Chains A and B, each alone.
Chain A
Amino acid sequence: MHKGKDAALVNDCKRGDRRAMAQLVSRYERPVFNAAYRILGNVDDAADITQTVFLKVFEHIADYDPKFRFFSWIYRIAINESLNQVKKRCRQEPLAASQASPWRSPEEHLESNRLSNRVQGALMELNEEYRAVVVLKHMSGCSYQQISEILQIPEKTVKSRLYSARQLMKKSLRATDS
Protein backbone atom coordinates (compact mmCIF):
# COMPACT_ATOMS: atom_id res chain seq x y z
CA MET A 1 0.00 0.00 0.00
CA HIS A 2 1.58 3.32 -1.09
CA LYS A 3 0.61 5.37 1.95
CA GLY A 4 2.80 8.42 1.34
CA LYS A 5 2.14 8.60 -2.38
CA ASP A 6 -1.60 8.16 -1.85
CA ALA A 7 -1.66 11.07 0.59
CA ALA A 8 0.13 13.31 -1.92
CA LEU A 9 -2.23 12.31 -4.73
CA VAL A 10 -5.27 12.90 -2.52
CA ASN A 11 -4.01 16.39 -1.69
CA ASP A 12 -3.57 17.08 -5.40
CA CYS A 13 -7.09 15.82 -6.06
CA LYS A 14 -8.41 18.21 -3.45
CA ARG A 15 -6.84 20.99 -5.52
CA GLY A 16 -8.67 19.76 -8.63
CA ASP A 17 -5.73 17.93 -10.24
CA ARG A 18 -7.33 15.38 -12.61
CA ARG A 19 -3.98 13.72 -13.33
CA ALA A 20 -3.71 12.84 -9.66
CA MET A 21 -7.26 11.53 -9.82
CA ALA A 22 -6.35 9.39 -12.85
CA GLN A 23 -3.37 7.96 -10.99
CA LEU A 24 -5.51 6.96 -8.04
CA VAL A 25 -8.00 5.33 -10.39
CA SER A 26 -5.17 3.42 -12.11
CA ARG A 27 -3.86 2.27 -8.77
CA TYR A 28 -7.13 1.14 -7.24
CA GLU A 29 -9.36 0.18 -10.18
CA ARG A 30 -8.30 -3.46 -10.24
CA PRO A 31 -8.22 -4.06 -6.45
CA VAL A 32 -11.64 -2.44 -5.99
CA PHE A 33 -13.08 -4.37 -8.95
CA ASN A 34 -11.71 -7.67 -7.63
CA ALA A 35 -13.03 -7.09 -4.13
CA ALA A 36 -16.48 -6.27 -5.55
CA TYR A 37 -16.36 -9.25 -7.91
CA ARG A 38 -15.50 -11.71 -5.16
CA ILE A 39 -18.35 -10.39 -2.98
CA LEU A 40 -20.94 -10.18 -5.77
CA GLY A 41 -19.81 -13.05 -8.01
CA ASN A 42 -20.76 -11.15 -11.13
CA VAL A 43 -18.58 -9.11 -13.52
CA ASP A 44 -21.25 -6.60 -14.57
CA ASP A 45 -22.30 -5.86 -11.00
CA ALA A 46 -18.67 -5.55 -9.97
CA ALA A 47 -18.02 -3.04 -12.78
CA ASP A 48 -21.07 -0.99 -11.79
CA ILE A 49 -20.01 -0.99 -8.14
CA THR A 50 -16.46 0.01 -9.09
CA GLN A 51 -17.79 3.04 -10.95
CA THR A 52 -20.02 3.95 -8.03
CA VAL A 53 -17.11 3.64 -5.59
CA PHE A 54 -14.87 6.01 -7.51
CA LEU A 55 -17.69 8.49 -8.08
CA LYS A 56 -18.31 8.55 -4.32
CA VAL A 57 -14.62 8.74 -3.45
CA PHE A 58 -13.99 11.78 -5.60
CA GLU A 59 -17.30 13.43 -4.79
CA HIS A 60 -16.33 13.33 -1.12
CA ILE A 61 -12.56 13.71 -1.45
CA ALA A 62 -12.74 16.98 0.47
CA ASP A 63 -14.23 15.08 3.44
CA TYR A 64 -11.49 12.43 3.47
CA ASP A 65 -9.84 12.29 6.88
CA PRO A 66 -6.07 11.82 6.44
CA LYS A 67 -5.80 10.13 9.84
CA PHE A 68 -7.14 7.02 8.04
CA ARG A 69 -5.14 5.45 5.26
CA PHE A 70 -6.59 6.10 1.83
CA PHE A 71 -6.72 2.42 0.90
CA SER A 72 -8.75 1.72 4.09
CA TRP A 73 -11.20 4.42 3.08
CA ILE A 74 -11.65 3.29 -0.51
CA TYR A 75 -11.90 -0.36 0.48
CA ARG A 76 -14.50 0.51 3.12
CA ILE A 77 -16.63 2.24 0.49
CA ALA A 78 -16.13 -0.68 -1.90
CA ILE A 79 -17.10 -3.31 0.67
CA ASN A 80 -20.12 -1.31 1.87
CA GLU A 81 -21.38 -0.71 -1.67
CA SER A 82 -20.90 -4.38 -2.55
CA LEU A 83 -22.65 -5.60 0.59
CA ASN A 84 -25.52 -3.15 0.00
CA GLN A 85 -25.89 -4.60 -3.49
CA VAL A 86 -25.94 -8.13 -2.05
CA LYS A 87 -28.65 -7.12 0.46
CA LYS A 88 -30.66 -5.43 -2.29
CA ARG A 89 -30.46 -8.61 -4.35
CA CYS A 90 -31.61 -10.75 -1.43
CA ARG A 91 -34.61 -8.48 -0.77
CA GLN A 92 -35.69 -8.58 -4.40
CA GLU A 93 -35.01 -12.23 -5.08
CA PRO A 94 -35.53 -14.90 -2.42
CA LEU A 95 -32.92 -17.21 -3.90
CA ALA A 96 -29.52 -18.42 -2.72
CA ALA A 97 -26.83 -15.88 -3.52
CA SER A 98 -24.88 -18.61 -5.27
CA GLN A 99 -27.51 -19.04 -7.98
CA ALA A 100 -25.95 -17.98 -11.24
CA SER A 101 -27.51 -15.19 -13.25
CA PRO A 102 -29.14 -16.59 -16.40
CA TRP A 103 -27.04 -14.13 -18.37
CA ARG A 104 -23.52 -15.27 -17.48
CA SER A 105 -20.84 -14.26 -19.94
CA PRO A 106 -19.25 -16.94 -22.15
CA GLU A 107 -16.12 -16.65 -20.02
CA GLU A 108 -18.12 -17.35 -16.89
CA HIS A 109 -19.69 -20.43 -18.50
CA LEU A 110 -16.26 -21.79 -19.43
CA GLU A 111 -15.05 -21.37 -15.87
CA SER A 112 -17.90 -23.43 -14.47
CA ASN A 113 -15.83 -26.55 -13.79
CA ARG A 114 -12.66 -24.95 -12.56
CA LEU A 115 -11.48 -24.99 -8.97
CA SER A 116 -11.58 -21.20 -8.81
CA ASN A 117 -15.27 -21.29 -9.66
CA ARG A 118 -15.95 -23.92 -6.97
CA VAL A 119 -14.13 -21.75 -4.47
CA GLN A 120 -16.11 -18.72 -5.64
CA GLY A 121 -19.27 -20.79 -5.19
CA ALA A 122 -18.26 -21.67 -1.62
CA LEU A 123 -17.49 -18.01 -1.01
CA MET A 124 -20.94 -17.00 -2.24
CA GLU A 125 -22.52 -19.39 0.29
CA LEU A 126 -21.04 -17.44 3.19
CA ASN A 127 -22.99 -14.64 4.78
CA GLU A 128 -21.88 -11.14 3.82
CA GLU A 129 -19.87 -10.48 6.99
CA TYR A 130 -17.78 -13.64 6.57
CA ARG A 131 -17.42 -13.10 2.84
CA ALA A 132 -16.08 -9.56 3.31
CA VAL A 133 -13.39 -10.76 5.72
CA VAL A 134 -12.29 -13.62 3.45
CA VAL A 135 -12.13 -11.30 0.43
CA LEU A 136 -10.09 -8.67 2.26
CA LYS A 137 -7.69 -11.23 3.77
CA HIS A 138 -7.09 -13.51 0.82
CA MET A 139 -7.98 -11.54 -2.30
CA SER A 140 -7.03 -8.03 -1.24
CA GLY A 141 -4.05 -9.18 0.85
CA CYS A 142 -4.97 -7.15 3.94
CA SER A 143 -3.64 -7.88 7.42
CA TYR A 144 -5.95 -8.40 10.41
CA GLN A 145 -5.22 -4.84 11.53
CA GLN A 146 -6.03 -3.41 8.09
CA ILE A 147 -9.26 -5.41 7.89
CA SER A 148 -10.17 -4.18 11.36
CA GLU A 149 -9.66 -0.58 10.17
CA ILE A 150 -11.61 -1.10 6.96
CA LEU A 151 -14.60 -2.86 8.51
CA GLN A 152 -14.34 -0.92 11.78
CA ILE A 153 -14.53 -4.05 13.92
CA PRO A 154 -12.03 -5.31 16.52
CA GLU A 155 -9.17 -7.54 15.33
CA LYS A 156 -10.48 -10.31 17.53
CA THR A 157 -13.77 -10.22 15.58
CA VAL A 158 -11.85 -10.28 12.29
CA LYS A 159 -10.06 -13.47 13.34
CA SER A 160 -13.23 -15.07 14.67
CA ARG A 161 -15.14 -14.39 11.43
CA LEU A 162 -12.23 -15.48 9.26
CA TYR A 163 -11.67 -18.75 11.11
CA SER A 164 -15.40 -19.56 11.04
CA ALA A 165 -15.59 -18.66 7.35
CA ARG A 166 -12.71 -20.98 6.53
CA GLN A 167 -14.38 -23.85 8.40
CA LEU A 168 -17.61 -23.29 6.48
CA MET A 169 -15.77 -23.10 3.15
CA LYS A 170 -13.89 -26.32 3.93
CA LYS A 171 -17.17 -28.10 4.62
CA SER A 172 -18.76 -26.69 1.47
CA LEU A 173 -15.85 -27.71 -0.74
CA ARG A 174 -15.73 -31.14 0.89
CA ALA A 175 -19.44 -31.54 0.05
CA THR A 176 -18.93 -30.59 -3.60
CA ASP A 177 -15.95 -32.98 -3.77
CA SER A 178 -18.10 -35.90 -2.70
Chain B
Amino acid sequence: MNEPTHNAQPDLDQHVLDLLNGTIDGGLSAVETAELDKLLAGSIPARESYEELKALVGVLDELPEKVPPEYLYDAIISQVRLSVPDDVQVEKPSLFSTRLFGNWLSAPWMRTGFAVAAVLMLTIGIYRTGSENLSPEDTSSMTGTVVKNPNGVLLGSTRFNAEVMNGEVKLRYKDGFLSVDVRLESDGTAVVNLGFSGQELEYSGITGLQNTGADVAAANGSVSVTTRSGRQHYELLLRRTAELPQGESTLLILEFFADGVLVHEAELGGSR
Protein backbone atom coordinates (compact mmCIF):
# COMPACT_ATOMS: atom_id res chain seq x y z
CA MET B 1 0.00 0.00 0.00
CA ASN B 2 1.38 3.43 -0.90
CA GLU B 3 1.88 5.59 2.16
CA PRO B 4 0.18 8.97 1.90
CA THR B 5 2.44 12.02 1.84
CA HIS B 6 2.36 14.35 4.84
CA ASN B 7 0.72 17.18 2.96
CA ALA B 8 -1.98 15.08 1.29
CA GLN B 9 -3.82 13.46 4.19
CA PRO B 10 -6.95 11.61 3.15
CA ASP B 11 -10.10 12.87 4.86
CA LEU B 12 -10.87 10.72 7.86
CA ASP B 13 -14.30 9.50 8.83
CA GLN B 14 -16.19 11.90 11.14
CA HIS B 15 -16.41 9.22 13.84
CA VAL B 16 -12.62 8.84 13.75
CA LEU B 17 -12.19 12.61 14.01
CA ASP B 18 -14.56 12.65 16.98
CA LEU B 19 -12.47 9.95 18.67
CA LEU B 20 -9.19 11.77 17.97
CA ASN B 21 -10.52 15.07 19.32
CA GLY B 22 -12.23 13.37 22.20
CA THR B 23 -9.08 11.62 23.39
CA ILE B 24 -7.07 14.85 23.26
CA ASP B 25 -9.73 16.58 25.38
CA GLY B 26 -9.83 13.61 27.77
CA GLY B 27 -13.48 12.78 27.14
CA LEU B 28 -13.49 9.19 25.85
CA SER B 29 -14.98 6.21 27.61
CA ALA B 30 -12.91 3.04 28.13
CA VAL B 31 -14.66 1.39 25.17
CA GLU B 32 -14.00 4.38 22.91
CA THR B 33 -10.36 4.51 24.03
CA ALA B 34 -9.90 0.86 23.17
CA GLU B 35 -11.51 1.44 19.77
CA LEU B 36 -9.20 4.38 19.11
CA ASP B 37 -6.08 2.49 20.19
CA LYS B 38 -6.94 -0.30 17.74
CA LEU B 39 -7.57 2.25 14.99
CA LEU B 40 -4.29 4.10 15.58
CA ALA B 41 -2.36 0.83 15.58
CA GLY B 42 -3.70 -0.02 12.13
CA SER B 43 -3.93 3.32 10.29
CA ILE B 44 -1.05 5.60 9.38
CA PRO B 45 -3.31 8.47 8.26
CA ALA B 46 -5.13 8.30 11.61
CA ARG B 47 -1.80 8.34 13.49
CA GLU B 48 -0.53 11.28 11.45
CA SER B 49 -3.77 13.15 11.98
CA TYR B 50 -3.62 12.45 15.71
CA GLU B 51 -0.05 13.75 16.00
CA GLU B 52 -0.91 16.85 14.00
CA LEU B 53 -4.00 17.49 16.12
CA LYS B 54 -2.05 16.99 19.34
CA ALA B 55 0.59 19.47 18.15
CA LEU B 56 -2.07 22.05 17.21
CA VAL B 57 -3.87 21.75 20.55
CA GLY B 58 -0.52 22.02 22.33
CA VAL B 59 0.25 25.27 20.53
CA LEU B 60 -3.25 26.66 21.11
CA ASP B 61 -3.08 25.87 24.83
CA GLU B 62 0.35 27.48 25.12
CA LEU B 63 -0.38 30.67 23.17
CA PRO B 64 1.11 33.51 25.22
CA GLU B 65 -1.30 35.74 27.06
CA LYS B 66 -1.49 39.28 25.74
CA VAL B 67 -0.78 41.89 28.39
CA PRO B 68 -3.46 44.59 28.35
CA PRO B 69 -2.21 48.17 27.77
CA GLU B 70 -1.08 49.92 30.95
CA TYR B 71 -3.77 52.55 30.85
CA LEU B 72 -6.66 50.08 30.55
CA TYR B 73 -7.33 49.26 34.21
CA ASP B 74 -7.44 52.92 35.26
CA ALA B 75 -9.54 53.78 32.23
CA ILE B 76 -12.13 51.18 33.22
CA ILE B 77 -12.17 52.17 36.90
CA SER B 78 -12.49 55.86 36.15
CA GLN B 79 -15.36 55.37 33.73
CA VAL B 80 -17.47 52.71 35.38
CA ARG B 81 -20.58 53.87 37.21
CA LEU B 82 -22.23 51.51 39.63
CA SER B 83 -26.00 51.65 39.27
CA VAL B 84 -27.50 51.18 42.70
CA PRO B 85 -31.28 50.66 43.13
CA ASP B 86 -33.01 53.38 45.18
CA ASP B 87 -33.97 50.97 47.94
CA VAL B 88 -30.38 49.87 48.59
CA GLN B 89 -28.42 51.77 51.23
CA VAL B 90 -24.94 52.49 49.98
CA GLU B 91 -22.46 51.28 52.57
CA LYS B 92 -19.58 53.56 53.35
CA PRO B 93 -16.85 51.21 54.49
CA SER B 94 -15.32 52.17 57.81
CA LEU B 95 -11.93 51.17 59.13
CA PHE B 96 -13.67 49.74 62.16
CA SER B 97 -16.50 48.07 60.28
CA THR B 98 -17.26 44.65 61.71
CA ARG B 99 -17.89 43.42 58.20
CA LEU B 100 -14.34 44.27 57.21
CA PHE B 101 -12.40 43.24 60.27
CA GLY B 102 -14.62 41.19 62.46
CA ASN B 103 -16.11 41.87 65.87
CA TRP B 104 -12.87 41.79 67.86
CA LEU B 105 -11.30 44.70 65.95
CA SER B 106 -14.22 46.99 66.64
CA ALA B 107 -13.75 46.75 70.41
CA PRO B 108 -13.12 50.16 72.03
CA TRP B 109 -9.66 49.20 73.35
CA MET B 110 -8.64 48.21 69.78
CA ARG B 111 -9.75 51.58 68.45
CA THR B 112 -7.61 53.34 71.07
CA GLY B 113 -4.69 51.12 70.12
CA PHE B 114 -5.06 52.02 66.45
CA ALA B 115 -5.18 55.72 67.29
CA VAL B 116 -1.99 55.50 69.35
CA ALA B 117 -0.24 53.54 66.62
CA ALA B 118 -1.32 56.08 64.01
CA VAL B 119 0.11 58.96 66.06
CA LEU B 120 3.39 57.11 66.57
CA MET B 121 3.72 56.33 62.87
CA LEU B 122 2.93 59.91 61.92
CA THR B 123 5.56 61.19 64.37
CA ILE B 124 8.20 58.83 63.05
CA GLY B 125 7.25 59.70 59.50
CA ILE B 126 7.53 63.45 60.07
CA TYR B 127 10.90 62.97 61.83
CA ARG B 128 12.29 60.89 58.97
CA THR B 129 10.91 63.17 56.31
CA GLY B 130 12.33 66.23 57.98
CA SER B 131 15.76 64.70 58.46
CA GLU B 132 16.63 64.20 54.79
CA ASN B 133 16.07 65.96 51.52
CA LEU B 134 13.40 64.41 49.33
CA SER B 135 14.38 63.45 45.83
CA PRO B 136 11.96 63.89 42.91
CA GLU B 137 11.51 60.11 42.93
CA ASP B 138 10.42 60.22 46.58
CA THR B 139 7.83 62.93 45.95
CA SER B 140 6.45 61.21 42.89
CA SER B 141 6.03 57.97 44.79
CA MET B 142 4.38 59.82 47.69
CA THR B 143 1.84 61.62 45.55
CA GLY B 144 1.22 58.58 43.39
CA THR B 145 0.71 58.50 39.69
CA VAL B 146 -2.56 58.38 37.88
CA VAL B 147 -2.31 56.80 34.49
CA LYS B 148 -4.63 58.94 32.40
CA ASN B 149 -6.69 57.10 29.92
CA PRO B 150 -5.51 58.35 26.55
CA ASN B 151 -8.37 56.74 24.69
CA GLY B 152 -11.63 57.50 26.50
CA VAL B 153 -14.82 55.50 26.09
CA LEU B 154 -15.38 54.12 22.62
CA LEU B 155 -18.83 55.03 21.31
CA GLY B 156 -18.54 53.83 17.74
CA SER B 157 -16.19 53.24 14.84
CA THR B 158 -16.15 52.88 11.09
CA ARG B 159 -13.57 51.52 8.72
CA PHE B 160 -13.39 51.47 4.96
CA ASN B 161 -11.03 50.47 2.20
CA ALA B 162 -11.57 51.95 -1.25
CA GLU B 163 -9.24 51.95 -4.22
CA VAL B 164 -7.84 55.44 -3.66
CA MET B 165 -8.40 55.84 0.06
CA ASN B 166 -8.67 53.76 3.19
CA GLY B 167 -9.52 54.96 6.61
CA GLU B 168 -10.64 54.28 10.14
CA VAL B 169 -12.58 56.65 12.37
CA LYS B 170 -13.32 56.13 16.05
CA LEU B 171 -15.76 58.19 18.08
CA ARG B 172 -14.93 58.44 21.75
CA TYR B 173 -16.13 60.31 24.81
CA LYS B 174 -12.95 61.65 26.32
CA ASP B 175 -12.34 64.15 29.11
CA GLY B 176 -15.70 65.84 28.55
CA PHE B 177 -15.33 66.08 24.75
CA LEU B 178 -16.44 63.97 21.84
CA SER B 179 -13.29 62.90 20.09
CA VAL B 180 -13.35 61.92 16.41
CA ASP B 181 -10.10 60.07 15.79
CA VAL B 182 -9.35 59.93 12.05
CA ARG B 183 -6.72 57.75 10.37
CA LEU B 184 -6.50 58.04 6.60
CA GLU B 185 -4.31 56.90 3.79
CA SER B 186 -5.09 58.57 0.48
CA ASP B 187 -3.64 58.61 -3.01
CA GLY B 188 -4.87 62.15 -3.61
CA THR B 189 -5.99 65.21 -1.71
CA ALA B 190 -8.29 63.99 1.04
CA VAL B 191 -11.27 65.89 2.41
CA VAL B 192 -13.18 64.68 5.43
CA ASN B 193 -16.50 66.41 6.14
CA LEU B 194 -17.92 65.90 9.61
CA GLY B 195 -21.55 66.94 10.04
CA PHE B 196 -23.15 67.38 13.47
CA SER B 197 -26.00 69.76 12.76
CA GLY B 198 -28.78 69.66 15.33
CA GLN B 199 -26.68 67.60 17.75
CA GLU B 200 -26.05 70.33 20.35
CA LEU B 201 -22.34 70.21 19.54
CA GLU B 202 -19.75 72.76 18.52
CA TYR B 203 -16.35 72.31 16.97
CA SER B 204 -13.68 72.78 19.61
CA GLY B 205 -10.38 72.08 17.87
CA ILE B 206 -8.11 69.64 16.13
CA THR B 207 -4.90 67.92 17.25
CA GLY B 208 -2.24 65.92 15.46
CA LEU B 209 -2.72 67.58 12.08
CA GLN B 210 0.42 68.08 10.09
CA ASN B 211 0.15 71.67 8.90
CA THR B 212 1.79 71.28 5.49
CA GLY B 213 -0.98 71.60 2.94
CA ALA B 214 -3.71 71.06 5.53
CA ASP B 215 -6.78 73.19 5.93
CA VAL B 216 -9.61 73.16 8.46
CA ALA B 217 -12.89 74.94 7.74
CA ALA B 218 -15.47 75.02 10.52
CA ALA B 219 -19.05 76.15 10.01
CA ASN B 220 -22.17 75.93 12.12
CA GLY B 221 -22.83 72.23 12.49
CA SER B 222 -19.93 70.94 10.41
CA VAL B 223 -16.18 70.92 9.99
CA SER B 224 -14.13 70.03 6.93
CA VAL B 225 -10.50 68.90 7.00
CA THR B 226 -8.41 68.90 3.83
CA THR B 227 -5.08 67.09 3.77
CA ARG B 228 -2.50 66.10 1.21
CA SER B 229 -2.05 62.57 -0.11
CA GLY B 230 -0.37 60.04 2.13
CA ARG B 231 -1.02 59.01 5.69
CA GLN B 232 -2.84 61.29 8.10
CA HIS B 233 -3.84 60.89 11.72
CA TYR B 234 -5.67 63.63 13.56
CA GLU B 235 -8.31 64.09 16.21
CA LEU B 236 -11.29 66.44 15.99
CA LEU B 237 -12.79 67.59 19.26
CA LEU B 238 -16.43 68.54 19.68
CA ARG B 239 -17.91 70.15 22.77
CA ARG B 240 -21.49 69.67 23.87
CA THR B 241 -23.42 72.95 24.04
CA ALA B 242 -26.57 71.49 25.62
CA GLU B 243 -27.80 68.15 26.91
CA LEU B 244 -29.44 65.89 24.38
CA PRO B 245 -33.15 65.23 24.91
CA GLN B 246 -33.68 62.06 26.93
CA GLY B 247 -33.50 58.91 24.87
CA GLU B 248 -31.65 60.54 21.99
CA SER B 249 -28.15 59.71 20.86
CA THR B 250 -25.48 61.66 19.06
CA LEU B 251 -25.32 61.04 15.32
CA LEU B 252 -22.40 62.30 13.28
CA ILE B 253 -22.26 62.19 9.48
CA LEU B 254 -18.93 61.57 7.78
CA GLU B 255 -18.06 62.05 4.11
CA PHE B 256 -14.70 61.15 2.63
CA PHE B 257 -13.50 62.67 -0.65
CA ALA B 258 -10.36 61.86 -2.62
CA ASP B 259 -9.43 64.47 -5.25
CA GLY B 260 -12.97 65.84 -5.07
CA VAL B 261 -14.74 62.51 -5.57
CA LEU B 262 -16.92 61.07 -2.80
CA VAL B 263 -15.35 57.78 -1.74
CA HIS B 264 -17.23 56.81 1.38
CA GLU B 265 -20.03 57.94 3.69
CA ALA B 266 -20.66 56.79 7.22
CA GLU B 267 -22.62 57.57 10.35
CA LEU B 268 -21.20 57.37 13.86
CA GLY B 269 -23.26 57.53 16.98
CA GLY B 270 -23.24 57.14 20.69
CA SER B 271 -25.21 57.92 23.78
CA ARG B 272 -23.07 60.82 25.06
Contact = CB atoms under 8 A, between A and B. Distances in A.
A and B: real partners?
Answer: yes
A125 to B, nearest CB: 14
B160 A163 contact: no
Contacts of A26: 73
Nearest to A46: B66
B76 A13 contact: no
A7 interface: no
Interface residues of B, number: 52
A167 B14 CA distance: 11
B3 interface: no
B159 interface: yes
A25 B76 contact: yes
Contacts, number: 139
B138 interface: no
B134 interface: no
Contacts of A100: none
A15 B90 contact: yes
A166 B57 contact: yes
Interface stretch (B38-46, B79-87, B104-112, B216-224): B79-87
Contact of B159 (A25, A37, A93, A170): A93
Given A14-B88, A92-B160, A139-B60, A163 B82 contact: no
A103 to B, nearest CB: 6
A47 B151 contact: yes
B90 A54 contact: no
Contacts of B157: 48, 88
Interface in A1-47: 13-19, 21-22, 25-26, 29-30, 33-34, 37-38, 43-44, 46-47
B83 A62 contact: yes
Nearest to B69: A47
A95 B72 contact: no
Contact of B73 (A29, A116, A144, A166): A29
B151 A92 contact: no
B60 to A, nearest CB: 4
B176 to A, nearest CB: 17
A16 B158 contact: no
A89 interface: yes
Contacts of B57: 138, 166
Interface of A: 13-19, 21-22, 25-26, 29-30, 33-34, 37-38, 43-44, 46-48, 50-52, 54-55, 58-62, 88-89, 92-95, 101-103, 115-116, 119-120, 134, 138-139, 144, 159, 162-163, 166-167, 169-170, 173-174, 178
29 contacts: A14-B88, A15-B89, A16-B84, A21-B77, A26-B73, A37-B66, A38-B63, A47-B69, A48-B154, A50-B76, A51-B154, A52-B154, A58-B82, A62-B83, A62-B84, A92-B266, A93-B159, A102-B185, A103-B183, A120-B63, A139-B60, A144-B25, A159-B18, A159-B21, A163-B17, A166-B57, A167-B17, A170-B56, A178-B7
